[in-house]
Structures are given as C-alpha cells and as structure tokens.
C-alpha cells in the first residue's frame, strides 16, 4: 500500500430539481477524515430527508482514523447506527423509509467506494470514465441475468425499483470496490437525479479539465435545463499530484441550492 498522501480538491452541490417540492438528498464532504458521501432519501412526507440526514449525521462523527482498515471499520459502524435509527423511525411512523448512498473513502494512497441502491460512484481516469458502483435495482438484476437488453433497460417500467438501501431491513447490505489512487483521478458521486438526465460521456467531458466547483455547477445546470425530474446531488473529488500534499490540505466547498 502506498503511504503517499495526495492533495485533494472537492466540491458538492444539491438541488431539489424542477419538479419536486423538497430536497430529500443530503451529502457530506469531510476531507480531514477522507470521506465523501451522497445520500438519496425515499419514503415521502419528509421521511426521505430524515433517512438521508441520518446517514450523513452519523458518518460525520467518524473522526480521524489511524489506518485505512480503521477508517473502513468506523464507516461501517456509523452506517449500521444510521440503519438502526432509520428502522426505529420507520416502526414509530408505521411506514417504510430508507435512503440510498454512495461513499468514497480515501487514505494512504488508496480508495474504497461503498454504496447501496442506485446512487453512483464514477472514476474518471486517463480520459476514460468508469462506473465504480453497480446499481442495486431490479433492472440491473435483469440485465445481469441477460433477461433484457441495455436498450430495453432504459424504458423498463420498474427500472427505478431499488433492491438495497439503508433503513429498509434490519440487515444492512452494501457493496464496495477498492483500488489505488492515481494523481489526476476524479471521482464523481451522485444521486440518480444526475444520471437520469446526463450520460456517462457527458459527465466525463464535463469533469475532465474543469475544477470540481465548475464541473459540479455545469452538471447541475445541465440537469435543470433538461427538466430536473428528481432531486440531484453531485460531489466531485479530484486527486492532485503534489509531493507533500495531505488530505487536510483540501480546498473544499459546498453549495445547497433551493433546498
């Protein structure tokens, strides 16, 4: 494992979109601990906002980890606490609420992407875009089984049905991918409000040479110009190449528009 700490620049935006009355998304930018998160709540009647806020609030208490495994353990502990809290709220209200999430952990020259649901993690590297996460949806399961084509998936009636999320069951199911950080890497974390309107190729072209702040704002403007049918949250994390950089040298920003 590389012990080189790389400078990181990050930024985030969140907007209720053009159709929804409120924003049930939440996000967290915490470069000191090496953590970035987007969460997309579901449940209606403000319950979705409660679920996504629970995830962000618990993860914000992680603190400074002593190692990458410690960071991962702290993350999973806080997420488990959020899951329990959301379950208790669901029981008290007599409804099922929950939240998808996508998170990036970065420490000691390594990264881990963790997620549940259809919030996504992309990596733009060497002029190419890769989807790190894999959607937890019914339509993705049908694609994996070869039962429908990629073209059919675009208009499949139940394409938005989620199969995993935080708070929907006592047993928390998440996936992860990990790898080495390379100077110039750009990670894009987003709720499905972005990917409903913007293609992977457009995301790659937008983030390739722009700062995280400029790229976030450009992607948001693109979504809103195309109708913004859902809440949208975007967090960009750009890995620099300075020799003496450190995670806490981050130049981070955050915006929440019309929340």
Could you report the per-residue pLDDT of 55-80, keeping only the tens digit for each?
999 999 999 999 999 999 999 999 99
Are the C-beta atoms of 205 and 180 separated by less than 8 Å? Answer: no
In order, the DSSP letters of 129-176 are EEE-S---BHHHHHHHTTSS-HHHHTT-TTTT-BS--BTSSSS---EE
pLDDT band at 138 (very low <50, low <70, confident <90, very high): confident
**Cα 194-230-161 angle, rounded to 5 deg:** 90
CB atoms within 10 A of CB 151: 8
Residue 126 has φ and ψ, to the nearest 5°, of 55, 45
Give the tens place of pLDDT for each residue, 209-220: 899 999 999 999
Q: What is the C-alpha to C-alpha distance for residues 130 and 147, in angstroms, rounded to an integer? A: 24
Give dist(CA 214, CA 218) in Å, integer.
6
3-state secondary structure of 178: strand
- Mean pLDDT in residue range 103-130: 96
Q: Which pLDDT score is estimated for 185?
A: 97
pLDDT in tens, 170-217: 999 999 999 999 999 999 999 999 999 999 999 999 999 899 999 999
3-class DSSP assignment, residue 223: helix
């Amino acid at each position: 494992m590389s012990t080189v700490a790389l400078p990181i620049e990050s930024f985030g935006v969140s907007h209720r979109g053009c159709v929804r009355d409120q924003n049930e998304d939440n996000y967290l930018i915490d470069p000191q601990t090496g953590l970035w998160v987007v969460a997309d709540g579901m449940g209606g009647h403000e319950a979705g906002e409660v679920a996504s806020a629970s995830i962000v609030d618990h993860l914000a208490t992680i603190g400074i980890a002593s190692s990458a495994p410690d960071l991962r353990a702290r993350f999973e502990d806080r997420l488990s606490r959020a899951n329990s809290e959301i379950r208790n709220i669901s029981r008290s209200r007599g409804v099922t609420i929950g939240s998808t999430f996508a998170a990036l952990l970065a420490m000691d020259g390594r990264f881990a992407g963790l997620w549940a649901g259809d919030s996504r993690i992309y990596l733009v590297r060497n002029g190419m875009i890769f989807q790190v996460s894999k959607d937890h949806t019914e339509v993705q399961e049908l694609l994996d089984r070869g039962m429908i084509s990629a073209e059919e998936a675009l208009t499949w009636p139940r394409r938005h049905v989620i199969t995993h999320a935080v708070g929907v069951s006592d047993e928390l199911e998440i996936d992860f991918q990990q790898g080495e950080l390379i100077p110039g890497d750009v990670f894009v974390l987003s709720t499905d409000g972005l990917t409903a309107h913007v293609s992977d190729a457009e995301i790659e072209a937008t983030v390739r040479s722009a700062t995280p702040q400029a790229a976030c704002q450009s992607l948001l403007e693109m979504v809103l110009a195309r109708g913004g049918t859902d809440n949208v949250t975007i967090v960009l994390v750009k890995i620099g190449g300075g020799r003496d950089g450190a995670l806490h040298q981050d130049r981070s920003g955050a915006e929440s528009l019309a929340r």
